[in-house]
Structures are given as C-alpha cells and as structure tokens.
Amino acid sequence: MNARSQQFVLIPELAAIMAAVPPLPVVTPQSVAAVRRRVDEAAARQPRPEVHSVADRVLPGPAGDIPVRIYYPGPAERLPVLVFAHGGGWSICGIETHEGICREIANRSGCAVVSVEYRLAPEHVFPAAAEDFYAAACWVAEHAEEIGVDPARVAVGGDSAGGNLAAVAALMTRDRGGPRFAFQLLAYPALDALSERPSALANAHAPMLDRETSQSMWSAYGGATDFTQPYLSPLYAPELAGLAPGLIVTAQYDTGRDDAHAYAERVSGAGGAMEVLEVEGAVHGFLSWFAQVPACSHALDHACDALRTALGHPAVR
C-alpha cells in the first residue's frame, strides 16, 4: 500500500478486493472500447443469483429500440417494479454487467426489476442516455399490466451514472407531467459535474473510481453541453420540490458523497423525503460486492427494504 492510499481505511474484505482491482482508467473515444472489454470480463466473474424468471424485451425509444431485461422474483401478478439504470459513467457497462445486482435486488426486495440498455457515450452524448431511460420508465408505467407489474408502484433507480439517470427521470416526469414514480433508489449517484465539495477533493485518488476518471466520464457524456444543465447535473435544478421520495446510498470514500448529502438536503428542504445511507470504509460501486463483503450485503438489504417498504410490498425474508 502506498502512502497516498493509506488515507483510505476500507472495510477489510473490501480492502482485499480493491488491492486486486486497479482503478478504472480514463475514458476517451480512443480508450473506451478497451475499458468496456475490461469491465465486461470482470463482470462475467460476478455471481448471478437464480430468480423466478427472466424476460428480454425491446421498448420503443426516442431514437429507436431500447433493449430491456426484466427479472421476476415470483409470478408476474401486479408486482411492484424498479426500473433500473446501470452505472458505468454513461459510457461503459450494460445489462450483462449488472445481471448480478439486478437479480439480487429482485430477490431481496420482492420487486420486479427492469434493467435498461440505454445508448452509451461517447458515441451518443447527452441527452441520449437520459431520454432513453426516461422513455423506458414511462413505457413501464404506461404498459405495466402487459409485463405483470403494478402501474401504481413503479420506482426508478440505478447506480453511479445510472443513479444520475434515475434522478433525472424523476425531474423529467415532474416537469413534463409524466407518470408518477413512487420511489427513487440512487446508489452513489452522479449529481454535480462541477462539484468542488470537500469529498470531491479529499477522495480525488480514492480506490475504484478517482476524480480524473470521473471527470473524463462526465466529459464523454456531457460533450459540449453546459454542465449546469439540470438534466445533466440534477443539483443545478432551480427547484427540487414535487419529486418522488427516495434513498441515496453513498460511500465514505466516494467523490460524490457530499453531493449526495447536498441533494438530499435540498429535496428535504423543498418538502420532499430523501434519506441518505453513508457506509463507512466503502468506495464507489461497493454494492456490487454484496456476495463477498458482509457490510455491502447489509447496505443492499437496507436499500431493498426501503424500496419494498415504499412500494408497499410484504417482507420477503
């Protein structure tokens, strides 16, 4: 361990994993293909828990078809549902890389999970990913009975860049008079492309995702857009009233930790309800190690319990 990394006192089991996992490299048009291959190979080694059933579909989107994969924890009979956006800096990852976490959320929450394959940057810059995810979430709410879920119990969620897309979908549906989402489940979401809050600086060299790579991902997705555009950086929305309640799961050593708290404070100050769960000794992306690290599993339990409770679903454990 070098002197710089000693400032990050990780959960022991997570520290052992991070010792073998190099930080994500910077994303550029030249490097993105190699980064995608690396992430795909790593994800293929993750556990994929059994679920009741899985269905692949294609939904209509603003620029063509949007593939989705639906995970059912039980018979498809008006189940509550989480429409999920995978992380990966809007530029890497997809349905396959997030198979494990989506299956586990379905099993632990008792909710169906619809995982969305939105368009990726840098080939497709803002607002492609946001519009794809919002279109998919609207389709699920408007065609719920077609896929065996309850239109009154639709939540949006995601991790990292996917948390950004879920938060943006909550803003979009409020602004555009779309369907009413019942909950937001945001795991270490990207909320402010220009953040200079203390955690952005203190965790600039944190394991897993450092600030340089994070900023490269914002640039790949944002392109020439003003980074204070609220559908890109939700913390710049002038008003955060009228949003679905939610939970933000964040990590002590995440650059966006203070952004998460700031967002929750603004939502709560506008009359909403946004809880924050900050996990000490954790890094960006930590929920993905639910099978190896007990503390990550406990945090995922908290998130799934919050989701299940918000959607009025009975306990599954």
Could you give the residue numbers annotated as active site?
Answer: 160, 254, 284
Residue among 164, 163, 312 at smallest CA distance from 231: 164
β-partners of residue 47 are: none
CA distance 260 to 110: 26
Helix, strand, or coil (residue 172): helix
CA distance 212 to 217: 9
Owner of token pair 């952004």: 259
Residues near 158 by Cβ (< 8 Å), separated by ≥ 6?
84, 85, 86, 87, 133, 164, 165, 166, 185, 186, 187, 189
CA distance 29 to 123: 8
CA distance 316 to 209: 33
Contact 93, 86 (CB under 8 A): yes
CA distance 314 to 317: 9
Query: Tokens standing for 121?
Result: 């940057």
Q: How many CA atoms lie within 13 A of 289 on its CB side?
A: 20
Residues near 20 by Cβ (< 8 Å), separated by ≥ 6?
none
Torsion, Cα of 104, 110, 112, 115 (10° steps): -20
